Amino acid sequence: MVTIQDIERVRPRLLADAIRAGLSADDAADLVQETVLRVWQNRHEVELRSDGVLNYAYRAFINRLVDHRRRAARSRVVLECDLLNDREVAELAVAIDLPGDGPAMTALRQLAPIYGDVLLLVDVGDLSLAGYADLRNITLRNARMRLRRGRRLVREILSGQAYLN
């Protein structure tokens, strides 16, 4: 039977590895805490495994570390986007690796910047709508409205029926 003491014995090794992986002390402690909680929640599954608590904890730790790095990479894209002004939406698309010569990119360039950046950040960049609303300091309802209008305008541009000023 796996006890909390078994799991706690792994904590110092995980913390040292998290710091060695380049995380700050706070991020490392958070990551290790999430790992310990995951192992504790799945302790019945750990009991059935032949490789024991340490291997299961390391597997959970590596998964948490990968998720942490993915979130950090996404937030770096969002921070870079926040530094751009509204006229640099095309440069934002390049940063997200959106092909610059396709019909979708041409349509995005024709949009007003508030619609172009919500489409790039939410639809292409995998930012949540709530995250976009927080980033731009607007309400969630306003963010939804911008996304809907932007999508509708892109559809109209691609079908040749759009009227843009």
Same fold yes or no, 4-79 and 87-159 = no
Decide if 69 contacts 23 (C-beta within 8 A).
Answer: no
Instruction: State the Cα–Cα distance between residues 79 and 73, nearest whole angstrom.
Output: 10
Residue 21: the pLDDT is: 82
- The per-residue pLDDT string of the chain (165 residues; one tens digit each, 9 = 90 and over) reads 778 888 888 888 888 888 888 888 888 889 899 888 888 888 887 775 656 787 888 888 888 888 888 777 665 554 444 444 444 555 555 455 455 556 767 777 777 777 888 887 887 777 788 888 888 888 889 989 998 998 888 888 888 765 554
What per-residue confidence (pLDDT) applies to 165? 45
Is the C-alpha dihedral spanning 120, 125, 128, 133 positive or negative? negative
Q: Could you tell me the residue ranges of all domains in the chain?
A: 4-79, 87-159
Asked: is 4-79 a CATH 1.10.1740 domain? The reply is: yes
d(CA 54, CA 45): 13
Q: Give dist(CA 22, CA 57) in Å, integer.
A: 19
Annotation: CATH topology of 87-159: Arc Repressor Mutant, subunit A (1.10.10)
Residue 48's pLDDT is 59
Distance CA 60, CA 67 (A): 11
